[in-house]
């Protein structure tokens, strides 16, 4: 976990490292740390607000931590995207 802490410090110093943000978010999600994964996913979405897969992941992570309002907001954002419709 020291490596993750070092990467997180790197992100704090340079929050434009989007690939690194996603890598660490995914590691947190795999390690069953949804709160940390969501925090980084939100950081990513600040830079790329239309990233559909990450919006979906944010919805799932929000629900996992009991944030139903956050879940609903992300789902509404996804549902409003007409590119999902046939």
* Per-residue pLDDT band at 68 (split at 50, 70, 90): very high
Residue 17 CB partners (closer than 8 Å, separation 6+): 10, 11
pLDDT for 72: 97
Average pLDDT, the chain: 91
Global confidence as pTM: 0.86
pLDDT for 59: 98
pLDDT for 62: 98
Residues 23, 49, 36, 76, Cα dihedral to 10°: -130
């Amino acid at each position: 976990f020291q490596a993750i802490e070092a990467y997180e410090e790197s992100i704090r110093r340079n929050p434009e490292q989007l690939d690194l943000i996603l890598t660490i978010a995914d590691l947190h999600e795999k390690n069953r740390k949804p709160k940390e994964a969501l925090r980084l996913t939100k950081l990513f979405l600040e830079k790329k607000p239309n990233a559909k897969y990450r919006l979906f992941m944010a919805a799932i992570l929000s629900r996992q931590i009991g944030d139903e309002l956050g879940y609903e907001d992300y789902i509404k954002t996804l549902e409003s995207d007409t590119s999902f419709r046939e």
